[in-house]
Amino acid sequence: QQQVKQSPQSLIVQKGGISIINCAYENTAFDYFPWYQQFPGKGPALLIAIRPDVSEKKEGRFTISFNKSAKQFSLHIMDSQPGDSATYFCAASDAGNMLTFGGGTRLMVKP
Amino acid sequence: NAGVTQTPKFQVLKTGQSMTLQCAQDMNHEYMSWYRQDPGMGLRLIHYSVGAGITDQGEVPNGYNVSRSTTEDFPLRLLSAAPSQTSVYFCASSSPMTGFYGYTFGSGTRLTVV
C-alpha cells in the first residue's frame, strides 16, 4: 500500500530550467511533508519541509507548493544546476510518526 | 558531532548467514528507524523505535530483528540472509519531542546476498 505517490520517476532538465516533481498522498492525517535529496553513495538529506497550514514555502531556489484539498504537493527547483542532479524523495508523516516516502525521482540537469 | 554512523559500509553474505548492521547516533534523538532502498521502490520502513526498550514493525519487517537497549544504538539483525534482502540499508534518527521531525540519515550499508 503506497500512501505517497511520486512522479515522474526520472526527469531531465536543461541548466537554468525549472524542475518540477509532484507527490500525492492519501492519508488526510498527514501533517508534515518533507523533501529529501540524495546523491549517489550517500544517505538522503533533508532539503525542505512544509506543514499544511501554508500553501507555499521557499528556501533559495527550492519551493514547495502544497494543495491540501487535492492532497498534492510539489517541489520546484528554479534555475536548475548540474549540481542539483540527484534523487529526490517526497515524504509525509502524521503527529511525529514514522515517515512514509514516495518512490523517488532521479533528476539530471544537463549543462 | 558525528550524526548517524552506520557500519559496515559494504557486506557480502552467503544465503543463510546471519549478521548485524550497526547504527549509532550521538544527537540524543529518541526516534530511530531502519529503511531499505531498492530501485524504483523508494525507502521502505523495516523497523523503528520511539525510545530505548521500545520497538515496532514497519512495512517490511520479515527476516529482520531489532532491539534498542540504549538511546544511541539501534542494531538491525538479519536472521538468515536471503537474496531478496540484497539492498541498501539506511538508519535514521529524529526527535519529534524537540520539534525535529526531519530525519538524519546515515550513509548506508550496501548488502549483497549471494
Q: Which residues, including other chains, have CB under 8 Å from residue B51's CB and lie 6 or more apart?
A: B30, B31, B68, B71
Whether the Cβ atoms of residue A23 and residue A74 lie closer than 8 Å to each other: yes
- Picking from B112, B96, A104, the residue whose alpha carbon sits closest to that of residue B104 is B96
Whether B35 sits inside 8 A of A32 (CB atoms) is no
Residue B56: predicted pLDDT:
94
- Picking from A63, A77, A74, the residue whose alpha carbon sits closest to that of residue A13 is A77
Q: Which residues, including other chains, have CB under 8 Å from residue A50's CB and lie 6 or more apart?
A: A33, A34, A56, A57, A64, A66, A73
Question: Is the pLDDT at B98 greater than 90, yes or no?
Answer: no
For residue A83, what is the DSSP state?
Answer: G
Other Cβ atoms closer than 10 A to A8:
12
Which tens digit of pLDDT belongs to each residue from A16-71? 999 999 999 999 989 899 999 999 989 999 999 998 889 999 999 999 999 999 99
User: Residue A4's closest chain B neighbor by CA?
Assistant: B42
Q: How many CB pairs under 8 A join A and B?
A: 53
Which tens digit of pLDDT belongs to each residue from B21-80? 999 999 999 999 999 999 877 899 999 999 999 999 999 999 999 999 999 999 999 999
Q: Which of A61-65, A77-81, A95-99, B96-100 has the lowest mean pLDDT?
A: B96-100
Whether A46 sits inside 8 A of B102 (CB atoms) is yes
CA distance A111 to B32: 39
* CA distances from residue A61 to A19, A78, A97, B78, B89 in whole angstroms, order as listed: 10, 5, 29, 41, 30
Find cell 531499505 and name the residue: B36
Task: Give me the residues paired with residue B45 across strands.
Answer: B35
Whether the Cβ atoms of residue B66 and residue B75 lie closer than 8 Å to each other: yes
CA distance B52 to A103: 30
Question: Is the pLDDT at A95 greater than 90, yes or no?
Answer: no
CA distance A109 to A81: 6
Interface of A with B in 59-88 (CB under 8 A): none
Asked if the C-beta of B99 comes within 8 angstroms of chain A's C-beta atoms, the answer is: no
